[in-house]
Each structure stands twice: as structure tokens, then as C-alpha cells.
Amino acid sequence: MHGWGYEGMSGWTFGFTTVGMVLLWVLVILAIAALTRYLLKESRSAGSTGGRTPATVLSERFARGEVDTKEYRERLEALREAGHG
């Protein structure tokens, strides 16, 4: 093998290869962790109301005109009876 310019793996080559492989695996693990965290955050935010109570959401809908006064009062009373108001 010496005829082709290959002199074997020296100490420096072995060291750089080892460091390179460790860095590669660290980057792979960090990428997986970041992707998992992002996906979990997205799934949590998709089903939440942003920390608002049902009564607050109802009040916002009333303020935007999506529900009239009668419907607002009925729903608010139902929320209070259910313990959400």
C-alpha cells in the first residue's frame, strides 16, 4: 500500500475522525430533539385557546358580533352552571 501514497492512519487523522464522528452524532441528536420539541409545541398550540377561559372566548365572540345578546346570556349562564364561568 505504500506505493499509492497511503501511509496509514496517523494519530492526527484518527483524532480528527473521532472528533468529526462525535460532532456528527451530536448534531443528529440535537436536530432530532429540536424537531420533536417543535412538533410537540405545534400540537399543543393547535388544541389550546391560548390560556383564555371559555367565558372570555364567549365575551370576545359577543364583542365581535358573532353572537347576539340573548345567545350570549344563555351560553354564559350555561358556562356558570357547568363551573366554567
Q: Would you say residue 74 has pLDDT above 90?
A: yes
Q: For the chain, what is the mean pLDDT?
A: 84
Percent of the chain clearing pLDDT 70 (strictly above):
78
Contact criterion met (CB below 8 Å) for 75 and 67: yes
Contact criterion met (CB below 8 Å) for 39 and 32: no
For helices 69-82 and 54-63, the axis angle rounded to 10 degrees is 180
When pLDDT is cut at 50, 70 and 90, the band that residue 9 belongs to is low
HSE-CB at 53 with a 13 A cutoff on CA atoms is: 10
2's enclosing H/E stretch is none
Going by C-beta distance under 8 Å and a sequence separation of 6 or more, which residues neighbour residue 17?
9
Residue range 2-23: mean pLDDT, rounded? 77
